[in-house]
Amino acid sequence: MSEELKLHNNDRIVLAEHFAGKTFNDKIVVDFCKRNKIAVTDAGSVEDFIYAVDYDKRMTTLLPLILEELSKLEYAGEYVSDQERKRISDANDDISEHIAQLLEDNGMWYRETNLLQSLAGDVAQIFATAERRINNMGATVLAEIAQEKLGDPLTLRALSNERAQIADRKAKKIEKEEIKSELCNTSAEHNEKNYVGFGGASGGGAVNYKNEAVEETLQKQVKEEKPVVYE
């Protein structure tokens, strides 16, 4: 018994390229397969092969053009002006119009337009995979750091205790900042009370900003100042 042939992708390409643009039926296809030692298939399958090869060629041309348009996508920052946000939105909308024009110019079939969702899904999957890689890397590094500090094996009890200590340190830090803020407010109120203005007969003049520490320093300097002798 002769070895049964299997239809490989290269065989499908050979069949598609040979029969593209030609009229054929099952008998013609079978004869061609036997002459070229290709697994026998039918005319309907060959039509599918022809379409698939043609679609792949068009998408191979289209994909770089689509990605070039997507590279023009602009990010609208959180605090950009309304005018700038509208400009970015309009520019991003133009990208979809340009992509639609590319599909039209490069022979996309009407029935193929839904296949763009498949392409969008591929792009989304790329981002999802990248996110997963980053998360896995971060988790691995953090676990190793935790093991070095808390011990190996890393237990839930050790993690729970460390979490409690971190929360305590954060609470103390916040309390310290609150005390510091209160002291600053108290000092500002005190300085405001010691804000003194003086001027001349013309109504103009300068201002003198004092607090107790400054006043004490000034008085000490006056007491230590030597008299000036005029000759």
The rounded average pLDDT for each run of 10 residues, N- to C-terminus, in the chain (231 residues) is: 71 96 97 96 97 93 94 94 96 95 92 84 94 96 94 93 94 89 77 55 47 54 47 38
Residue 111: its pLDDT value, please?
A: 87
CA distances to 60, 170, 177, 213 from 182, rounded to whole Å, are 66, 18, 9, 19
Provide the residue ranges of all domains of the chain, joining segments of one domain with +: 9-107, 114-154
* 195, β-bridge pairs: 209
Amino acid at 130: A
Helix (H, G, I), strand (E, B) or coil at 208: strand
> Which residues, at least 6 apart from 218, have a Cβ–Cβ distance to it below 8 Å?
210
pLDDT at res. 62: 93
Q: Cα dist. 213→44, 66, 194, 223 in Å? A: 98, 70, 11, 16
Give the β-pairing of 205-209 and 195-199. antiparallel
Q: What is the distance between the alpha carbons of residues 154 and 156, in angstroms, rounded to a whole number? A: 7
pLDDT of residue 32: 97
pLDDT reported for residue 83: 96
Cis ω before 227 (30° cut-off from 0): no
Q: How far apart are CA 60 and CA 64, in angstroms?
A: 8
